Amino acid sequence: MTLPKAVEIREVGPRDGFQNEPERIDTDDKVRLINALASAGFRRIEVASFVRPDVIPQLSDGVDVLRRIEVPDDVRLMVLIPNSKGLDNALRVRETFHDAAIFVSASETHNRKNVNRTVADTMADNDVMAKRIVAEGLGCAAVIATSFGCPYEGKVDLDRVLGLAERFAEAGATEIGFGDTTGMANPAYAGEFFAAALERLPGVEVTAHFHNTRGQGLANAYAALQAGCTSFESSFGELGGCPVPPGSTGNIATEDLISMFHEMGVDTGIDLPAVISAAQEAQTVLGRKLTSHCLVAGPIDWHAN
């Protein structure tokens, strides 16, 4: 079996992770943690979302965070855009980020519960937004939630998901992320899914975004890797989850994903101890223990007695 020599990992904790925290995180703490992640070697970080402040108060300081963080010039910052109004607001601070992500749920029920719109209405808005994003010279990414299953509808048809992906690509998205929003994927299907996605989407960067809700996140990432996927998203400290259905716990932990890749000889370009250090700092900020495996056990030391 031949694995890719290297992969890209986008750290999504500052957006996807923080938004699920019930206690308000101080802006200074967010800035410090993002700066630490950038120093660890990440070249892609999702920082903010332009949702209404009353919907996700935790992210209401997103513009301040974008303006205050200090990251190397080669770090690409991404923001999540829920609708055209959000894009209007984001473009007012166009100079603070590089990539904009638009999104939809593959299942009708989850989409309605998440953004209070039908999939058809959401995609019509996404078509318009994608063209505007590209016209602004920004990177356009698209995210399809519940790609591997919906907690309300069960299985989601693969052709439906890839049809949405093809529509995003036609509208101008150059990266498409497939989200296992509530941890319903399994390794066998993950491998099948990404093999099909890579075949159906030539020229598009295909990204895997797994959650560890049922403990299969790393196994699913490995299956995607075997299928040829080289782009992943994860959250330091295993922060995050889906705010819609109860019990939908966090993303796969970035430090665990990096550790797995490095032990298999797959390069990430990221300093694992530095990521663990950032997760430790997040524990202090949040005032609670985080439970990623590398945070608890530490990285593997082959020189230890």
Angle between helices 272-286 and 254-263 (to 10 degrees): 160
Catalytic residue among 140, 229, 242, 294: 242
User: CB count, 10 Å around CB of 29?
Assistant: 16
Beta bridge partners of 178: 144, 208
Strand, coil or helix: 184? coil
- Amino acid making up residue 144: I
Which pair of tokens denotes residue 29?
Answer: 């703490």
Which residues contact residue 244 at a Cβ distance below 8 angstroms, ignoring those fewer than 6 apart? 110, 113, 114, 151
Count CA atoms closer than 13 A to 262's CA, side-chain side: 18
- Residue 246 region, left (φ>0) first, then alpha (ψ -120 to 50), else beta? beta
Rounded to 5 degrees, φ, ψ at 216 are -110, 10
Cβ proximity of 110 and 146 under 8 Å: yes
Find the helix or strand (DSSP H, E) in which 190 lies.
Answer: helix 187-200
- Our separate counts of H helices and E strands in the chain read 11, 8
Handedness of CA 105, 94, 167, 189 (dihedral sign): negative
242 is catalytic: yes
The catalytic residues are 242
